[in-house]
Amino acid sequence: ASARSRSKHLFNRAKAVFPDGTTRATVERDPFPIYLQRGEGAYLIDVDGSRYLDLNNNFTTLIHGHGFAPVAEAVVDLLHSGTCFANPTEHEIALAELLTARIPAMERVRFVNSGTEAVMFAIKAARAFTGRPAIARIEGAYHGAYDWAEAGQGVAPDKDGWEPAPVATPAYRGTPPSVAKEVHLLRFNDIDGLQARLSAASDRIACVLIDPMPSRAGLMHPEPDFVKALSQTARKHGILIIADEVLNLRQGYAGASARYGLNPDLVTAGKIIGGGFPIGAIGGREEVMRVFGTADARPLLSQGGTFSANPVSMAAGRAAMAAMTPHAFERLEAMGNRLRSGLRASIAKRDASFSVTGATSLFRIHPKRVVPREYRDAYLGAEATSLMRGMSRHFLEKGILLPYGAAACLSTAMVDSDIDLILSAFDEFLEAETQSGKE
Ligand code: PMP
């Protein structure tokens, strides 16, 4: 690979204008970020002219990869005829019709500009509907930057290990202490903890916020009994369920909740439904979504947003989603299955201390022999973190951009040879690892 001299130069320029040189905390730098020139289908081309297979796809947003022609065609006319208005357009209805027709829990929908905003309004809607202030959420899961949604996302063990029952801690210094008091943490796949926690504070909890396969917490499968217990316990106490599908809506034509048997009252979406443009959506049961209604003078919950439902995001999203036919989802899933079983075969062949989680077009490699069931199992200490950084570096040398510590994803722009490339890069990495382990 090149010395990436142009990226290095750009990073030096960026340091003068951005704190720490970047404008998103999630930008990976090793030691500086790779600045991109452009994307091309499944590939990225950086400013130094190197090409990489993109397994990040802007954190799982670009389900068709880069420069998808139907999206470009859908937005190019809009660029000349007006990109945002105070008045509504037909574009928003068309995207809403597509989503409500596919996703069972989305009887009604509202559009916003990001996943963070979608989660924020879903929580507010649950509060407005129930009249309760608190939320319950899964330890270690990522739900964007609303104060209550982020309290408890970055929990770490102390020197004596993990507290048996997790306690929400503020995400940043200066957070009002009341925030953490109104956040109850649950451990993923822990039925007893879930029942105890929800029962103990049921009169204050408006909702359980849950990603059906929390990616940053480990991209683990929800166990069917846990899903069942969650539904039963929440119903019993009048607590709403918010399924955060900002990332996992890509798991199927009807989304992730439908796939895993979860029956939420509210669903949040984002990423893929904007076709590469900013978007978020809150959907849900008609009765609950009525909190947004303005029919009776003042709504229970007012939700606006200068760029909400702008025609560019709406039309791009519609074009991207229309191309995600049941057949397109099946093809992606088949590619994902081949990839995950290939990775597992490499691990088994070398008896390596690794495991793989994920489903459909998503996967995550863990430096752990036992497949994680919850955040604590997937949590990486300093040594494992540096091992995973080394793995990303190895992939980069093989021309693959593997997000470090986050879910990796496939796109419809990929073909079988791209999967082979990933498999051989991983097998070579394991070979080098097991060799060095023997020395
Ligand atoms: N919820 C989940 C599950 C997410 O994965 C993300 C983004 N990674 C968000 C919320 C926040 O979305 P955004 O970055 O669009 O604000």
- Residue 205 CA to chain centroid, in angstroms? 24
Mutation to probe ligand 1, out of 247, 251, 257, 268 (largest number of atoms < 8 A from CB): 247
Q: What are the boundaries of each domain within the chain?
A: 5-67+325-438, 69-322
Of residues 233 and 29, more confidence is placed in 233
Average pLDDT over residues 285-306: 90
For the stretch 363-407, pLDDT in tens is 999 999 999 999 999 999 999 999 999 999 999 999 999 997 778
Q: Is the pLDDT of residue 1 over 60?
A: no
Euclidean distance between CA atoms 280 and 84, whole angstroms: 16
Average pLDDT over residues 301-315: 97
pLDDT of residue 2: 58
pLDDT-derived band of residue 299, with 50, 70 and 90 as boundaries? Answer: confident
Ligand 1, atom 1: nearest CA belongs to which residue?
143
Cα 269 to ligand 1 centroid, rounded to whole Å? 9
Greater model confidence, 279 or 404: 279
pLDDT, tens digit (0-9, with 9 covering 90-100), for 132-177 = 999 999 999 999 999 999 998 988 999 999 999 999 999 999 999 9
Lowest mean pLDDT among 25-34, 185-194, 325-334: 25-34
pTM over 0.95: yes
Residue 420: Cβ within 10 Å count = 13
pLDDT at 435 over 90: no
| Cα distance between residue 334 and residue 356, in whole Å | 16
CA of 114 to the centre of ligand 1 (A): 7
Reported confidence tier of residue 61, pLDDT bands at 50, 70, 90: very high
pLDDT at 405: 73
Residue 424 — very low, low, confident or very high, per pLDDT cuts 50/70/90? very high
Instruction: Give residue 296's pLDDT band: very low, low, confident or very high (50, 70, 90).
Output: low
The complex scores an ipTM of 0.99
Q: Using CA positions, which residue lies closest to atom 14 of ligand 1? A: 115
Name which residue leads in pLDDT, 282 or 26: 282
SS3 annotation, 284-351: ECHHHHHHHCCCCCCCCCCCCCCCCCCHHHHHHHHHHHHCCCHHHHHHHHHHHHHHHHHHHHHHHHCC
Q: What average pLDDT score do residues 353-363 get?
A: 97
Q: pLDDT > 90: what percent of the chain?
A: 92
- For residues 327-343, give the mean pLDDT: 98
- Does 439 score more than 70 pLDDT? no
Domain 69-322 has CATH 3.40.640.10: yes
CA distance 342 to 306: 46
Name the strand (E) or helix (H) holding 409. strand 408-409
The pick from 27, 58, 111, 116 for probing ligand 1's pocket by mutation, whose C-beta has the most ligand atoms within 8 angstroms, reads: 116
Q: 283: phi > 0 → left, psi -120 to 50 → alpha, else beta; which? A: beta
pLDDT, position 265: 98
Of 324, 302, 359, 286, the closest CA to residue 63 belongs to 324
Q: What is the pLDDT of the chain when averaged over all its residues?
A: 96
Class of the domain covering 5-67+325-438 = alpha beta
The ligand 1 atom nearest the CA atom of 119:
10
State which ligand 1 atom lies nearest to the alpha carbon of 60.
8
Task: Give the model's pLDDT for residue 404.
Answer: 77
SS3 (DSSP) at 162? coil
Ligand 1 centroid vs 246 CA: distance in angstroms? 6
pLDDT of 434 reads: 85
Question: For residue 402, how far is its CA from the centre of ligand 1 (angstroms)?
Answer: 19
Give ligand 1 pocket residues (Cβ under 6 A).
Answer: 59, 114-116, 119, 142-144, 211, 215, 244, 246-247, 270
